[in-house]
Structure 1
Amino acid sequence: MTQSPHNQFATDYLNQVLSPIGLVKTRYEIPEPVQEIDIYFTPNATASDDLLSLGLLGRFAQTPALFEPFGDAVTPDQIRDCLSKLFHLHVKLDQRAKQENRSLNEEELPRLWILIPTASASLLEGFAALPDEQNWLSGIYFMPEFYYTAIVVIDQLPPTPETRWLRLLGTGQVKQQAIDELSALPNDRPKTIQRGMRQGIQAGQRLIINNVLRTRLGDLTPTLAALVTPLSALPPQELTPFVLKFSQLENNAAGSQQAQHFIVENLLKIRFGELDAQLLARVTPILQLPPQELSQYLSQLSQISRDQLLERFPEASPSTSP
């Protein structure tokens, strides 16, 4: 099944963040009929400290869980499709337990968390999904007990440290605020969580860059697509000027060329400071690298010295970018 850009980002992000604390199965298939669950998660028995560091997302992950993220408001049919996957999986687990001559423990049944940016009152009412603010934060709506399902409306979650990992799956300013908060966290968390956090933020920024460029330019050239990966690794404050520049591009070949030169020039500027004629002359040769090599080279730019760069492209002649 083809995933939307947001769905692909959300699946990758949850995989990176949850894999240090349990078993993650992405696009998990349920046969007869074949259906795919975006994330099927089973926690490790020893992951309690890491779960706490993930706030509300960690609380969701204390027990077996299915995560179905959406980038837009959902329809009743989409909710029913999610419920169908859950119930088919419950049946499959019950059948497996019987084959093993044991009773299925209720705690083994995964709970479904449907993650959506917004939801209408009629949608929530139609599924009898109600808040439980005595035990949970606002923005979480629980279906009746034996449905094992909750709808999490990301943009309704309070902007607190406990929700930041989930708000990264929101939209617009909600997502950006979460990225800024996560980037500012101290590096005193477990290394696995730090790595998951960093990869999650980069996945979010990659989605933002792709969306802006595609909105302005349509389909990206292989070279421009290759430049997204090194860009997504930048701290959010360094990424902002790039996004502003992209929003001003014309939708034509010249716009793509301008974007490519702007990205490489400014990545070099971040690494080496103001560019002299020698470094400016290397922009075009760098862009002539095959896309995969280009992406890898610029991703490693922080480890490359000026002399190494000049040596790598010795034939470059002084020029200026368009």
Structure 2
Amino acid sequence: MTRFPYDQFAKDYLEELLQPLGKIETSKTVPAEIREIDVYFAPSSQPTTDTIQLGLLGQLAEKPALIEPFRNAVKISEMRSCMNKLFYIIADIERQNKRDNIPTQEDDLPKLWILSPTASTTILDGFKASLDEENWGAGVHFLGDYLKTVIIAIHQLPCTPETLWLRLLGKGRVQQRAIEELEALPQNNPLRDKAIDLLLSLKTQIEIRQNPEEEDKELLMNLSPIYLERLAAAEQKGRNEGIQEGRNEGIQQGRNEGIQQGRNEGIQNERRIVIENLLRARFGALDDELEAIIQPLLALTPEEFSPLLIQLSREELISRFIR
């Protein structure tokens, strides 16, 4: 997978999970030569239980943070680039404090968190990173205090509920196991739904790309059960609504028709969402012509419409379904 789809997923994912804890900015702009910060987070002054629910991710969000997630193992040059962004932000804070005649407290300055699927001994030794397992556990490597930089090697994190929300940003078997653990969470867990929605959006982004890499195919395979679960849930919801509709009418015929109608509507609604997501991912906003092909596409099964939406051009789709 190219870097962009994963980047967007990681930013959206971190924004969705950290939003209840404080103020969050994605793609925060800094001078052109420094480029952008992926995620800039400032914690709320009011404590919240969401911090505990997020485990290790919530722990790092207890103080101001720059978060830079990487799909592939972070490189030396990328480390330096991220640290350059951090030092720019710190210098800007110090300038503002000086103008306002406020002393700068080291503890109030943001810390840089590098989220890397793996971290080589070359990287860790070269930056003199060290562990603090008593407070942070395995896989969390700290640079010197005044460098304010931490490398989280996701593949080294223990497989515990506290690390789940970071392991979902890993790769390969690590991410696969995290997805399985996510599925196993209670259905009423609000973080579960948020994460699954974003993972299915990532699935859509991958599906519309030509010639996906092997690891992309593995990720699609891992996400397929979640997609099928959502379809089944939509069908069950429609069935339940149909039963309730029939019960309220008090007529057996209405009940039977309501069951079938609810089942069909649930399936159709879920398929419409999938079709709209695929169209938006490929062609941007839905105009009148694209809206017009949705209804005929709904007559097809997901196995039939998915390859058409991925392979055909806009003109081919319009020509096939409305001309």
Normalised-by-shorter TM-score class: 0.5 to 0.7
Contact 1:118 1:153 in 2 (8 A): yes
Question: Which ranges in structure 2 are unaligned for 5 or more consecutive residues?
Answer: 214-219, 240-259, 281-294, 306-323
Which residue matches 2:209?
Answer: 214
Shift of 1:269: 7.7
Residues in 2 aligned to 1:321 and 1:77: alpha-carbon distance in whole angstroms: 45
Counterpart of 2:133? Answer: 133
| Deviation of 1:188 (Å) | 6.2
Letter in 1 for 2:153: V
Aligned match for 1:202, one of 194, 197, 203: 197
Code of the aligned partner of 1:84:
N
Question: Residue 120 of structure 1: CA displacement?
Answer: 1.0
> Per the alignment, do residues 53 and 155 of structure 1 end up closer, same or farther by CA in structure 2, a change over 3 Å counting?
same
Q: Does the 8 A contact of 1:30 with 1:36 survive in 2?
A: yes
Query: 2:131 touches 2:138 (CA, 8 Å); kept in 1?
Result: yes
Give the aligned partner of residue 101 of structure 2: 101
1:28-107 equivalences under 5 Å are 28-31=28-31, 33-107=33-107
What's the CA shift for 1:47?
3.0
Are 1:164 and 2:179 counterparts?
A: no
CA distance in 2, matches of 1:150, 1:100: 30
Alpha-carbon distance change, 165 to 156 in structure 1, aligned in 2, over 3 angstroms: same
Deviation string for 1:259-293 (max 9, x for gaps)? xxxx9xx99988889x9xxx8xx99xx99x9x649
SS at match of 2:209: helix
Q: Distance in 2 between matches of 1:137 and 1:61?
A: 16
> Retained in 1: the 8 A contact 2:204–2:277?
no
| 1:142 equivalent in structure 2 | 142
CA displacement at 1:207 relative to structure 2: 2.3
Give the 3 Å change call, closer, same or farther, for CA 37–134 of structure 1 in structure 2: same
Higher helix share: 2
| Alignment partners' CA distance in 1, 2:89 and 2:277 | 42
CA drift of 1:99 comes to: 1.3
Contact 1:17 1:197 in 2 (8 A): no
User: Which is worse superposed, 25-34 or 43-52?
Assistant: 25-34
Alpha-carbon distance between aligned partners in 2 of 1:270 and 1:78, rounded to the nearest angstrom = 47
Give unpaired runs (5+ residues) of structure 1: 219-231, 243-262, 297-311
Q: Deviations over 1:241-270 (max 9, x none)?
A: 99xxxxxxxxxxxxxxxxxxxx9xx99988
Shift in CA distance, 293/214, structure 1 to aligned 2, threshold 3 Å: closer
- Look up the SS of the partner of 2:152 in the other structure: strand
Equivalent residue for 1:178?
178
Counterparts in 2 of 1:241 and 1:131: CA distance versus 1, 3 Å: same
Q: Sequence identity of aligned pairs in percent?
A: 37
Q: Which residue in 2 is equivalent to 1:239? A: 227
* Residue identity opposite 2:227 in structure 1: L
Mapped to 2, the partners of 1:84 and 1:321 lie a distance apart of 49
Question: How far apart are the structure 2 equivalents of 1:201 and 1:91?
Answer: 38
Map of 2:315 onto structure 1? none
**What TM-score do you get using the length of structure 2 for normalisation?**
0.66
* Cα distance in 1 for residues equivalent to 2:85 and 2:59: 22
Cα distance change of structure 1 residues 103 and 267 upon mapping to structure 2, 3 Å threshold: closer
Q: How many residues align?
A: 252
What SS does the aligned partner of 1:4 have? Answer: helix
- Normalising by structure 1, report the TM-score: 0.66
8 Å contact 2:204–2:278 — kept in the other structure? no
SS of match in other structure, 1:48: coil
Structure-1 separation of matches of 2:277 and 2:152: 41
Deviation, structure 1 residue 198: 2.0
